[in-house]
Structure 1
């Protein structure tokens, strides 16, 4: 039975699941009725952060055009352009045992591609969630449903895996941003060109 989290909650991952080494992080969403003439293209991306909360280099930013990071320990399985269908829209596989020791946090983000120009925002998105699944047994361990707390934001840091006392934990963040992916990337120390 998955642990269902509310915004701001933190939960042990590896301590309560001994032997857990690989997780699948699934992110999903639905778009509400929208007649702006453009498709919604939501994207999941991942930032690998050091102790200062920053990416050491561009290689620590994982998304549909750079699908691997952390020496292959974090893999984005591919872009979903429509968000159609049930279940996860995009997935990231994390091999916890092989994440480089310099990486302290793995932040998961959902953004609306070109949201500002298309006049799209998270007020038009529903049923957004993140879930953490034991990759070996396919058992859902943690789920965080984001609810309808967003209106004008074009990007959300949904949650993060982080190291604590030699174990991995998960934190439900649910922080919305205006300015899309570029704003979050800048906050995480990357140069956006």
Structure 2
């Protein structure tokens, strides 16, 4: 069908049910939140990141360091949206970085460049959401200067207040309770 570019705040209807979402830019951590209508996760298992690379039922999967696959056919009715976010390690910020989110939906490619980010260390780049029986994509570029812990708290993921030591992704523990420890170390 072709290519489409979405500016910040713009949206488009998705014609395919299986999507590939790829983020290009500086070394950032790519994550996804599988969200209810109140924009929070049901459980920490709906927070997809390198230590939890697949949501329940496999509907959202981190397939590479900066790539997700989203199977809209498998999204339960109680889920209204999927937010795709990023974070960068402090003291770096997202300002000035060229970051593009490319969504491949069947034969359509949609590019949503990050816009307006300055001092933020974490951001939601795009949201995939239900509207009137259709799935749509919106370019967000909504950032959090306070960083990754603030981003995940905003979406209902439990985060410990005390920072914890964080190892490399390969050495990180694999239980849901480690989400809090990993995030706390990202401040």
TM-score class normalised by the smaller sequence = 0.7 to 0.9
Secondary structure at 2:158's aligned position in 1? coil
Match of 2:4 in 1: 3
The answer to whether residue 82 in structure 2 is matched with residue 106 in structure 1 is yes
Gaps of 5+ in 1: 31-40, 80-89
**Counterpart Cα distance in 2 of 1:28 and 1:54:** 26
Q: Of the candidates 111, 127, 136, which is equivalent to residue 143 of structure 1? A: 111
Higher helix share: 2
Aligned residues: 159
Q: Of the candidates 58, 74, 81, which is equivalent to residue 44 of structure 2? A: 58
Contact 1:162 / 1:170 at 8 angstroms: preserved in 2? yes
State the TM-score, normalizing by the size of structure 1: 0.78
Higher-RCO chain (CA-CA 8 Å, sequence separation at least 6): 1
State the TM-score, normalizing by the size of structure 2: 0.80
Contact 2:117 / 2:141 at 8 angstroms: preserved in 1? no
Contact 2:94 / 2:118 at 8 angstroms: preserved in 1? yes
Match of 1:127 in 2: 98
Gaps of 5+ in 2: 161-187
**Counterpart Cα distance in 2 of 1:120 and 1:98:** 36
Q: Which whole-Å deviations, capped at 9, do the CAs of 1:133-157 have from their partners, x for residues lacking one?
A: 03xx5x442111124x222110111
**Counterpart Cα distance in 1 of 2:51 and 2:77:** 25
Q: How does 1:175-186 map to 2 (within 5 A)?
A: 175-186=142-153
